[in-house]
Chains A and B, each alone.
Chain A
Amino acid sequence: MALSLTVNGQQYSLDVEPDTPLLWVLRDELGLKGTKFGCGAGLCGACTVHVDGQPARSCSTPVELVDGARITTIEGLSSEGELHPLQKAWIKEGVPQCGYCQSGQIMTAAHLLANTPKPSREEIIAAMTGNLCRCGTYSRIVAAVESVVDGVGHFEPAQGGA
């Protein structure tokens, strides 16, 4: 089945089985490995991408459902070589440990800030609750998002997430 996708601003025409999860199309057909496989069931958020501006779990999104959609992955979050403010904050705050879940974390946070530029801490936590991190980087995630919200980098050790 021929499908068309716009991924990170680039158009693709694909011939894949329609029930293939978007995740594997992105990773193995388009070579965009930044989006990760964690659970295959929408439980961990490691595979989060934006579909027409909305966060989606690409591991459980059959590609036929997003035919014609505009998709953004972690690779497309930065524009013209400039990192997204969240990516800069993630680096300054030293958020990642193993790092495997972080693409999904950043994509979820990016959607939050796109729609709620000044979220409260409670709103940040509510938005991020679908994204698991086994290493336990949660307090640094909150601190990194807040540093973008504040428009300043604050590098004091974060004081807890909840």
Chain B
Amino acid sequence: MAWAILNQRREVPEMTMNRRDFMKVSTGASGSLMLALSLPGCATIQTGYEPETGEWTPDVWLELTKKDEIFFTLARVEMGQGTYTGMTTLIAEELDVDPARIKVKFAPVAPEYRNPLFGLQLTGGSTSVASSWKPLRVAGASARQLLVMAAARVWDVSAEACVTQDGHVIHPNGIDSLRYGQLVELADREVIRGKVPLKSRSEWKYIGRQGGRLDAEAKATGKAVYGIDVELPGMVYAVMTRSPRYGGQATGFNRDEILALPGVLDAFVTDRGVAVAADSYWRARKAQNALNINWDFSSALNINNGQVFDGYRQAASEDPGEQERSDGDIDKAIENASRVVEADYEQPYLDHAAMEPMNATAWYHGNGMDVWAPTQAPDLGRIAAARHSDLSPEDVTVHTTFLGGGFGRRLTQDYIEEVAIVAYKLKVPVKLIWSREEDVRHGFWRPAMLHRMRASLNGSELTGWDHQIVGPQILDWYVRNAAPAQYPWAPKFLYSTLGKVGLMVEGIATPKDISAIEGAVGYPYQVANVSVRHTHTDPGVPITWWRSVGYSHNGFAVETFMDELAYEAGEDPLQFRRKLLVTEPRHKAVLDRAAELAGWGRPLAEGRARGIALFRSFGTYVAQVVEAGIENGEIQVYKVTCSVDCGQVVNPRIVEDQISGGILFGLSAALFGEITFKNGEVQQSNFHDYRLLRIHEVPEVVVDIVDSESEPTGVGEPGVPPVIPALGNALFALTGKRQRRLPLTA
């Protein structure tokens, strides 16, 4: 192949930038795993024309065949957020074919499929469309251009005079045409010189149009294959019994009794707990019920819920934290204030509760190991599997499936580690499935956080803002597999070193972890003196990314405190915000739009009140107005009105669904969400005590999308953060009682 589009994918600045630049870049790249070190770009995907099969692979994304089939390799997993449709639409638009004609394949692990924003092949941070917006359109346009050039050569006409239409190149005479399939072999011989033009906005046929979801039929007929559906010949089933307290180790169990049970094939102690394998899932579960395990709890978590926040409050008092933003002089502002307002906000651990419980399937065979998994990070999954076998990462093949929800939980690869342990021991295909109870109790959670807020007012003017964030950082829990995944050629004995080095050089060679502070450092209101600090303290409870990550807790703290200050200043919460957004037109526009659509200020039925909140996350501006009340001692959410500016929309229906889905996700957290600990054990277990909104509890949701030609930004997560403070603010307007702790109570 004479040409390659790969180079254009690395659009992320290298890490020579200073801190301020980095903050700018990473505002849109949550998760902060943006990679430090550029990696050798050794291509592993073969491109070109294959005469025997009639397949033409112009680049790592597309494959066109003589039979007019078109395959697109999807490098961002489909977990409900719509990459399957959205990314296919991008490439289809420029290739000039109906997206529904394209068959989607899930990408294998390869450097070409890394998310350029992270340097890892992971799906998260609401980055998929934003990071693919240009590369996929360029790929589609380039393939189309080669096909046009081939047709022009056949007809001996100018390529510029040819047009394309739904998989055909049309002759300048407007009559003759050639199918793409007829041209693939010839197209491979063409070479593009110079830049390939992209369609103008007015030429789009699919981008921005109301289209369906390409995966809807498979999902409405039960045919979509999720991780849990993988079936292999001779496959056995495994369950893992983990320590009831994180960090506990199994030291022994009644193995002889277990092995004697029907269908049990093996049972053994692992780093992760006691594994039982049987010839059916149910027999493995029944054997699990008969387990009698001795645990060593000497280094296990031994925490009660109250201790987490006691510890945070103590840390907040003892350690002012690292200064993450400092404008003006906060101390002077406080000193000169006519009034100082202070408040602490507490937010609990939260579970992801994806509908598909954690699971994975693995087969260790003579040529390595194959892993099938619903994972958000297949390259980390490969490291996780290699770690627990005698294999190198390149001997591990990870096959990604549809994901029954991800929400960040499937970025952590513990379930792949477990199946790899069992598969390596048994040497037959193994499927390991978690029960719901295990899924809830052995999570990696959204961290519990404390926010200590302080503000100065001079009359009704907000003169100072001091935000102290207290809690852990996610990278501390993540780097263990992430660092080796960035260096897949590194020998395995270096894995733990790589993990530690990754942490040691964080902020220098690897990027700073912004998971605790994102959304707080970007405080948008025009206040002369702003201080944002992070007191880093970690209670030892496992954590990971959770839909909207740091924005989820910072949104609640910032937008509730803004509401408190509006009341303290004697102003309407909408007007108080508006006048501090003079230089932030996109913030102001969504705020005004949401307020207008919701009828802000207009009378409501008795017993109802409105609350408002505004929050930018993942580059997307979202304002929401919640209308709520209390009936029969329960909070009732009647209506959520949302205005969103996410730049150019690729699929309006998916944007609306992601935003409204995020709103319901946030409401479940605001109303019910809480993982608590007693002596180190999680007290929740299933959907009866870790509740999610049900259909009869869902409010009317109105999503208004700003018409924009700006670069697209994320939509999977930004719906979540504002709804939590907006609901709390509505309840304050209703009751006069300010709630500073989640979940909210009636």
Q: Would A161 and B222 count as touching, CB distance under 8 A?
A: no
Segment at the B interface, from A40-48, A50-58, A112-120: A40-48
B695 is contacted by which of A37, A90, A142 (Cβ under 8 Å)? A142
Residues 72-84 of chain A, each 1 if its beta carbon lies under 8 Å from chain B, else 0 = 0111001000010
Q: Would A98 and B404 count as touching, CB distance under 8 A?
A: yes
B660 is contacted by which of A28, A43, A139 (Cβ under 8 Å)? A139
| Known interface pairs A28-B281, A97-B81, A135-B661; A33-B697 also in contact (CB < 8 Å) | no
| Known interface pairs A40-B436, A134-B354; A140-B657 also in contact (CB < 8 Å) | yes
Q: Closest Cβ of chain A: how far from B52's Cβ, in Å?
A: 33
A96 to B403, CA, bound (A): 12
Segment at the A interface, from B2-10, B224-232, B487-495, B577-585: B224-232
| Known interface pairs A44-B355, A100-B226, A160-B639; A129-B656 also in contact (CB < 8 Å) | no
Segment at the A interface, from B21-29, B456-464, B531-539, B684-692: B684-692
| Known interface pairs A44-B687, A98-B403, A132-B692; A24-B216 also in contact (CB < 8 Å) | no
A159 to B703, CA, bound (A): 10
A132 to B222, CA, bound (A): 17
| Known interface pairs A100-B356, A162-B695; A138-B664 also in contact (CB < 8 Å) | yes
A141 to B661, CA, bound (A): 13
Most chain A beta carbons < 10 A, residue from B210, B231, B639, B694: B694
Say yes or no for A137: interface residue by CB 8 A criterion: yes
Q: Which 5 residue pairs across A and B have the least CB separation, nearest first?
A: A34-B222, A160-B700, A100-B404, A99-B219, A98-B80
A86 to B727, CA, bound (A): 34
A139 to B664, CA, bound (A): 11
Q: Closest Cβ of chain A: how far from B616's Cβ, in Å?
A: 21
Q: A62-121: which residues lie under 8 A (CB-CB) from chain B?
A: 73-75, 78, 83, 87, 90-92, 94-103, 106
Say yes or no for B220: interface residue by CB 8 A criterion: yes
Q: List the interface of chain B (C-beta within 8 A of A).
A: 78-82, 210, 212-213, 215-226, 228-229, 231, 237, 262, 280-283, 353-357, 402-407, 433, 435-437, 639, 653-654, 656-658, 660-665, 686-688, 692-703
| Known interface pairs A39-B686, A92-B212, A134-B692; A87-B283 also in contact (CB < 8 Å) | no
A83 to B223, CA, bound (A): 13
Q: Would B281 and A136 count as touching, CB distance under 8 A?
A: no
A132 to B697, CA, bound (A): 11
Q: Would A97 and B686 count as touching, CB distance under 8 A?
A: no
Q: Would A38 and B223 count as touching, CB distance under 8 A?
A: no
A134 to B658, CA, bound (A): 12
Q: Would B216 and A98 count as touching, CB distance under 8 A?
A: no
28 A-B contact pairs sorted by A residue (CB < 8 Å): A16-B280, A24-B281, A36-B226, A36-B355, A40-B435, A41-B436, A41-B687, A74-B221, A75-B222, A78-B221, A83-B221, A90-B216, A94-B213, A97-B81, A98-B403, A98-B404, A100-B404, A129-B694, A132-B355, A132-B692, A133-B355, A133-B695, A134-B405, A135-B657, A136-B698, A157-B656, A160-B699, A161-B695
- Using Cβ atoms and an 8 Å threshold, which residues of chain A touch B226? 36, 100
Say yes or no for A17: interface residue by CB 8 A criterion: yes
Say yes or no for A125: interface residue by CB 8 A criterion: yes
A31 to B281, CA, bound (A): 14
- Using Cβ atoms and an 8 Å threshold, which residues of chain B touch A91? 212, 216-217, 220
Q: Closest Cβ of chain B: how far from A71's Cβ, in Å?
A: 14
Q: Would A20 and B436 count as touching, CB distance under 8 A?
A: no
A28 to B281, CA, bound (A): 8
- Using Cβ atoms and an 8 Å threshold, which residues of chain A touch B357? 37-38
Most chain B beta carbons < 10 A, residue from A100, A125, A157: A100
- Using Cβ atoms and an 8 Å threshold, which residues of chain B touch A43? 436, 686-688
Q: Would A162 and B219 count as touching, CB distance under 8 A?
A: no
Most chain A beta carbons < 10 A, residue from B81, B433, B435, B698: B698
| Known interface pairs A98-B355, A99-B80, A102-B220; A36-B404 also in contact (CB < 8 Å) | yes
A97 is contacted by which of B220, B221, B262, B661 (Cβ under 8 Å)? B661
A43 to chain B: closest residue by CB: B687
B280 is contacted by which of A24, A74, A125, A138 (Cβ under 8 Å)? A24
- Using Cβ atoms and an 8 Å threshold, which residues of chain A touch B687? 39, 41, 43-44, 132
Q: Would B355 and A38 count as touching, CB distance under 8 A?
A: yes
Q: Would A98 and B282 count as touching, CB distance under 8 A?
A: no
Say yes or no for A35: interface residue by CB 8 A criterion: yes
Q: Would B695 and A131 count as touching, CB distance under 8 A?
A: yes
Q: Closest Cβ of chain A: how far from B156's Cβ, in Å?
A: 45
A75 to B656, CA, bound (A): 30
Q: Would A162 and B697 count as touching, CB distance under 8 A?
A: yes
B435 to chain A: closest residue by CB: A40
- Using Cβ atoms and an 8 Å threshold, which residues of chain A touch B700? 159-162
Q: Would A162 and B699 count as touching, CB distance under 8 A?
A: yes
